[in-house]
Amino acid sequence: MSRVKTQKQLQVLVDEWNANHPIGTPVRYYARINPREDPRGIYKTRSEASVLGGHTPVVWLDGKSGCVALEACEPVSEAEFEAQS
């Protein structure tokens, strides 16, 4: 079975993210080399999610240059964000 998602499937992922995670949501960002094993910190989103280049759902984070894949982000509580500061 193909793991490639259609444009419609990608847009559904983005729409669901945006419905549940407004701009300013704190997220733990993971390196994509070993997802969930190499956390890079907690950041707040500074954009809505979108589909980059027709192939990757992404979001922009405060304090990071460039966008990051949604699959590398895990929403966390405001308390976790504050605790890291």
Structure-block tokens of residue 57 = 């759902």
Note the pTM of the prediction, 2 decimals: 0.84
Domain boundaries, the chain: 7-84
pLDDT at 59: 98
Residue 85's pLDDT band, with cuts at 50, 70 and 90, is: low
State pLDDT tens for residues 20-77: 999 999 999 987 655 556 667 899 999 999 999 999 999 999 998 899 999 999 999 9
Q: What is the mean pLDDT of residues 3-30?
A: 93
Other C-beta atoms lying within 10 Å of the C-beta of residue 47? 13
As a whole number of Å, the end-to-end CA separation of the chain is 43
CATH 1.10.3470: does it fit domain 7-84? no
pLDDT at 1: 44
CA distance 7 to 44: 26
CA distance 44 to 42: 7
